[in-house]
Amino acid sequence: MIYTFKGGVHVEEHKNTAGCRIEPAPAPGRVFIPLSQHIGAPAKPLAAKGERVFLGQKIGEVENALGCPVHASVSGTVVEIAEKRTALGAVVQNVVIENDGLEERAPGLAPANRPLLEYTPDEIVEVIRQAGISGMGGATFPTYAKIRSAMGKVDRLIVNCAECEPYITANHRLMLERPKEIINGAKILLRALGLRLAEIAVEDNKLDGAEAIRRAAEESRLIAIRIVKTKYPQGDERQLIYAITGREMPAGKLPADVGCVVFNAETCAAVCRAFTEGMPLIDRIVTVDGDCVKTPKNLLAKIGTPVSELIEACGGLVKKPEKIVVGGPMMGFAQWDKDTPVTKGTSAVLVFSAEAAGDRGAENAACIRCGRCAAHCPMHLIPTLLQTYAQADDQASFEAYAGLSCVECGSCSYVCPAHVPIVQYIRMEKFRINAAKRAAAAAKRQAEEAHAAKNPAPAGEKGGEKA
């Protein structure tokens, strides 16, 4: 049986690197490790300028808030703590480490010393938190927090190996070359959640990957493979959950609200390595491709490596680049700095010429009311209407037509014959609305704090003082 969802588009696959084995990228002379590579609060630096750090050493920590610690991906000396723009555009602090090339491992990093069954769910969650693992499919939600929020609420665990974005083949190669890591990571997550089956979702253009998983699973009853149709955005959590379980996630709800939890394949592998090697998340597979790249590859890159060094590791450029995209061509982000560092969420670096980037001169494009965008929207929205409201900054109408549930997949823009940049307008409007909501919440909090400071509660009414 092949599972699928309603809507979506068939995009040109360009999986040029599907046959390219994962190669370690040359270690960079310096790494730039952002202290915020995850959803939540940024980490606070634990290492100062001039300090020597070891491979895998914790160099940033988040306390009492949602977030992940960060770790040194090389051994060497911290040369500065500097602000730098991430691939997503935010300016965050980076720990800059001069690599000494010694790969000296941090003392105390050790594999799990007990069988998995002797770990309690809380202990598993803590190992994953300490390893700094966040969603590696691009969402970067802290994995420990995802597990905690799913505990006792879910009955389906899905491993996302769909990899529906064009060009990217990192998960495909992981399935072929290190399937045991995916499987063992999934088993650890099953144990944490008290479940008995991990459903591994693979698109039907990667059947060799599914076969590698099947062989490595050795007929384990804990693992099932679900073949999903090759269609974009099949890898989106909502579409995957619907395709496999038939459960629809209402707007504003989380997978756990419909009894499901989804982990990316590489996240599972990172969970596995945290237990089997004691190594936190310090590297990841990055597909480097695009018509400007001389020899496209899948590289195992250290977190903090400038993307320019990955391009060099692929033989450099053979054409004048117009656009460098971090992530896939549908949902990735165009870069203004070729030295943007690789983070835990960087699945690909794509370099396109003007011809391949396909600037369609859409600024003055007008909608011809064909309805194709609505027919293909996997969230069943009316993109053309949302784009009109976004252009007019009519936030009330945009919200009334569920604009905030747009997953920014870009299917609408992709199919639009008038080349209207629909998703760009929608993304900007979502950003404006969310920023306004955050500002309103902060103002409310400040007003409440000011009110409380001016009007302290009488002593007898304070908690714990009544008796």
Q: Which residues bind ligand SF4 (CB under 6 A)?
A: 367-373, 377-379, 381, 383-384, 406-412, 415-418, 420, 422-423, 426
| Structural contact between residues 280 and 73, judged by C-beta atoms closer than 8 angstroms | no
- Our CB check for ligand SF4 shows the closer of 64 and 364 to be 364
Cβ at position 288, least distance to ligand SF4 in Å: 26
Sheet holding 297-302, edge to edge: 22-24, 297-302, 283-289, 348-352, 323-326, 333-334
Give the amino acid at 30.
Answer: R
What token pair was written down for 435? Answer: 């920023």
Cβ at position 398, least distance to ligand SF4 in Å: 11
Smallest CA-to-CA distance from 188 within 136, 120, 108 is with 120
Give the amino acid at 208.
Answer: D
Place of tokens 């999903």: 228
Give CA–CA dist 72/55, Å, rounded.
Answer: 5
- Our CB check for ligand SF4 shows the closer of 196 and 360 to be 360
Cβ at position 337, least distance to ligand SF4 in Å: 26
C-alpha dihedral, 294 to 297 to 303 to 305, nearest 10°: -20
Burial classification of residue 407, based on how many CB atoms lie within 10 Å of its CB (0-12 exposed, 13-18 middle, 19 or more buried): middle
Cβ at position 238, least distance to ligand SF4 in Å: 9
Cβ at position 151, least distance to ligand SF4 in Å: 29
Cβ at position 376, least distance to ligand SF4 in Å: 6
Cβ at position 299, least distance to ligand SF4 in Å: 29
Cβ at position 74, least distance to ligand SF4 in Å: 38
- Our CB check for ligand SF4 shows the closer of 258 and 420 to be 420
| Structural contact between residues 292 and 323, judged by C-beta atoms closer than 8 angstroms | no
Sign, CA dihedral 18-238-154-138, equals positive
